[in-house]
Amino acid sequence: MQRFKHFPQAVSKHNLSKKAMSKIAVYLLLFSFFVVYQIYFFNFIQIIFAASPGPQYSNLKTNLTSPVTYSQGVNYQFNATWTSGSSVSSVTFELNGTNTTVTTSQGSEYYTNKSYLGAGNYTYRWLASDSLSVWNTTWHNTTFKYRKPITISNSGSALTDYQIKLNITFVSGKMNSDFSDLRFTNSSGTQLSYWSENVVTSTYADIWVKVPVIPASGSETVYMYYGNTTQTSSLSNFTNTMILLSSNPSFTTYGSYNPTTNNIQENAGDTVKSDDVYGDMRTTDSWTAQDEGCYWIWDFGSSASRSFFVEWYNSLTGTSGYCGAFTTTISVSADGSSYTTIGSNQLTSISTSSLFTNNYNGTYRYVKVDQYSTTACMATYGYSYVDVVWARNYASTTPTTSFGTEEIIQNYTINKASGGVSFSLSTASQVNYPTETNASCIRTAGDSTSTITLYRNGSQVASGTTSPQSEVATLAGGIYNYTCVIPATQNYTEATSASNILTVIPNTPNITIFFNSSKVWWNDSVYASGLSLYSNGTVDVGSTYTFYINGANQCGGSTNSSGGWSCTFRAPIEIGSFTATVSTSSTSNSTTLYVRPKYGETPSGTSDRAVYENPFFIQDMNGKLKMVMVRITTWKR
């Protein structure tokens, strides 16, 4: 500064010209303007930043109204109209947590197209910033469906950790009836502490919210979230939100009033307010002299500017006809010696009571509650319940609040489309065995990668992603139930085609019987054989057969690869005609086997033999004649 101390003398000494002086004046003027401009500009910018809430959206639209049914290749368009105190510089669309920068717009209406969205439930929101790089606030937690911005306007100095009181009206169908789903955040999404001072179910709630910063001569926006039925426990916390005094204030009596310790009661419950933290302080004893009493003093620990609240309840009891007056006063002090009364009440009638509240903004350390008699003939009981004394940070000018328009987290639902599958059969639903059939499952609607499965009588016979899936087979006689199934995928529901019946009528084969001789001797070895064939010439392979003579089982087995069967057995030991039968599970056939001799013939064999039969007549014991046959057999050795 010494350099400029003699500046006028220096100017005079060197006889500066008027032109030089003019230049200096111009430079000083420009410098002054620059300084003023800088101060104004930065203050103006700070005010703008403090006041700007960021861009706001409205008129949300979609080209297909939710819920919609999935359709492959459909284009979904989402639209939002943006307004801002300054120009909108950047718009972002967030779908299920994935952000897309949106640049397409028609005026202030921005839109984005989403193709090939699969079926499902989507949440989306719009974000935007203005030319000052101020963004609209992101959603704190998407499990809360609704929120409201709350603007806190402050015309005074900056406030830190200030407790603001909100009266919140119940929103039916959106809030929990006990307000337990309320949450509060600042504009950056940080969750804020709050205390529910008073809650009237399904009606209203008085809530104190602790706001970290409220700028001077500006505003701060906080957000109230609700609409989450899973949040059934309130996060209301008195200690984290308000400034609480000690629960054990000092106690002093004066005059002739000398109650016992038991007369100083800290109730476990709260007779005045149900949300009290420590209960109530009170005295109960007979007041018999004027100006006798007692007082409690709460100590905040230091003298500071703060706001405090006290709720107290006066009651005067006694026998009717007694005189009496009972007074309670509330006062504050910065040093503990000089107190300023901020509230007082006197009761003069027996059996009267009143509820009082006092708020105070100022600089203090101590809060004093004094109870005393004001008449000399007070043979009564006077007492005062004093609720917990608590405080909030001080504001010379109390900020005001205003609720904004309700905002909602947007949901978009694309329901699954119905899957489709059909059944096809290459023949009629009823065929004769043996007929080749082709049973097929055909996808009519669904993802091309979905698996098609064909079942026959509950057993899988074909499966794959290619359509159709088929079974080509020649099935034995019977009834067959075909079912087609395509399981549910992301985009399609399960598809089923059941009770597709195919009936195969068995084709009964013909079975033949042949003997090695048309005439056989009794008890001789006989060879029987034949073939089991279908009408189209197909052989009946593997069928179990049984051969009978007059119903008596002679032998059995399975038809061979040519459909043949055979049986070697002994002829009956009697002469006559016998029924020979061969049977399988699907067919049977019978013929006659003759057992008799051949007269005059000499059969060949291991031993030549001849049989002769001649009739003879004999008389029985009753004298009757009977003819008998006499068979004579000869062997040649």
pLDDT at 427: 94
Q: Is 278's pLDDT higher than 60? A: no
CA 350 to chain centre: 61
pLDDT at 535: 76
Q: Is 561's pLDDT higher than 60? A: yes
Higher pLDDT, 269 or 359: 359
pLDDT at 271: 40
Q: Model pTM?
A: 0.52
Dihedral sign for Cα atoms in the order 535, 538, 543, 547 = positive
Per-residue pLDDT tens over the stretch 594-631: 887 655 454 454 455 566 666 667 777 777 777 666 66
Report residue 478 as tokens.
């019977």
DSSP-based three-state secondary structure for 177: coil
Higher pLDDT, 157 or 40: 157
pLDDT at 270: 40
Name which of 119-128, 173-182, 324-333 the model is least confident about: 324-333
**Distance between CA atoms of 71 and 115, rounded to whole angstroms?**
10
Q: Is 300's pLDDT higher than 60? A: yes
Name which of 50-59, 236-245, 247-256 the model is least confident about: 50-59
Mean pLDDT of the chain: 79
Dihedral sign for Cα atoms in the order 84, 87, 90, 92 = positive
Per-residue burial over 496-530, b if 16 or more Cβ lie within 10 Å, else e, is ebeebebebeebebebebebeeeebbeebebebbb
Name which of 107-121, 248-262, 565-579 the model is least confident about: 248-262
pLDDT at 2: 42
Spatial strand order of the sheet with 109-115 comes to: 56-62, 75-83, 109-115, 105-106
Report residue 357 as tokens.
């509240």
**Distance between CA atoms of 562 and 531, rounded to whole angstroms?**
8
Q: Is 22's pLDDT higher than 80? A: no
pLDDT at 51: 43
251, with CB counted inside 10 A (0-12, 13-18, 19+), is: middle
Per-residue pLDDT tens over the stretch 312-352: 666 666 554 455 667 788 888 999 889 999 888 777 666 66
Q: What does each C-alpha distance from 517 to 102, 492, 553, 576, 600 come to in angstroms?
A: 102, 74, 20, 15, 18
| CA terminus-to-terminus distance, the chain | 171
Per-residue pLDDT tens over the stretch 413-441: 999 999 999 999 999 999 988 889 999 99
Confidence of residue 472 (pLDDT cuts 50, 70, 90): very high
pLDDT at 94: 86
Confidence of residue 409 (pLDDT cuts 50, 70, 90): confident
Q: Is 6's pLDDT higher than 50? A: no
Name which of 89-93, 310-314, 342-346, 389-393 the model is least confident about: 310-314
Per-residue pLDDT tens over the stretch 246-260: 556 777 877 766 654
The whole-number average pLDDT for the span 484-511 is 92
pLDDT at 131: 79
User: Which residues, other chains included, contact 606 with Cβ-Cβ below 8 Å and sequence gap of 6+?
Assistant: none
The whole-number average pLDDT for the span 350-369 is 73
pLDDT at 287: 58
Say how many residues make up the chain. Answer: 637
Per-residue pLDDT tens over the stretch 183-234: 999 987 889 999 998 899 999 999 999 999 999 999 999 999 999 888 878 8
Name which of 145-154, 261-270, 404-413, 486-495 the model is least confident about: 261-270
